[in-house]
Amino acid sequence: MSEASLAISDDPTGAGAAQACRQELLGLLRAGSPGAATEAAERIRSLIERLEQLQPADLSAQAAQLAGVWELRWSSSSQPYLAVQPWLENLQLLDPAGGRALNLLRLAGPLGPLAGIGVQARIAVEPEPPHQRVSVCFERGGWLGPQLGERRLQLFREVQQGYAAWLDVTVLDDELRVSRGNAGTLFALVRRPDLELAAFLG
């Protein structure tokens, strides 16, 4: 049994349990291809569900922590574009103060900044309890190219969204975010402090 598991057993409801659960989850998410094995995926889901109980997000006080660049490290979806691969970066850029967001899929490594597929959206933190929902309205999607001077090359087209989309942010801190989508998908993301929000949404 790991030290984190022992801490959870010794303190099943307190701050120590939340911290131990969080640290184990972050360790699994930062592994090469988290959730690739069934056993790892089940453990990740179990830790997420436990952390949602121990450390629930409250966007009425934490909305500013949403801002930044996040990388998807695990999801419950079977869709190929939501699968975590070592050669691919699935990034989500959030600017709640400006009401903007960008989902970006690009190659990992030095070729990543050269091109990617992105979808821009307008977002808003909903005021109703339990203060976890973010509404999403997709606006444009297409190709996002390299930075040239102060501008980034891009070729985007308007997209038609025929349904209401939202994310429930159930766990949030400076490094970790867990969200549940309107289609029932569970997402776990880690912050990318090496990437600047302004470089993509400036």
Residue with tokens 């992105």: 118
What local confidence, expressed as pLDDT, does residue 10 receive? Answer: 53
Residue with tokens 């029932």: 184
CB 33 within 8 A of CB 55: no
Measure CA 31 to chain center: 16
CB 52 within 8 A of CB 178: yes
Domains in the chain, CATH or no CATH each? 1-55 (no CATH), 56-201 (2.40.128.280)
CA pair distance 7, 3, nearest whole angstrom: 6
pLDDT digits (tens), the chain, 202 positions: 455 554 445 555 677 899 999 999 999 998 866 665 677 889 999 999 999 999 999 999 999 999 999 999 999 988 877 888 888 899 999 999 999 999 999 988 776 666 688 999 999 999 999 999 999 999 988 877 666 666 665 667 787 777 779 999 999 999 999 999 988 899 999 999 999 998 888 6
CB 171 within 8 A of CB 177: yes
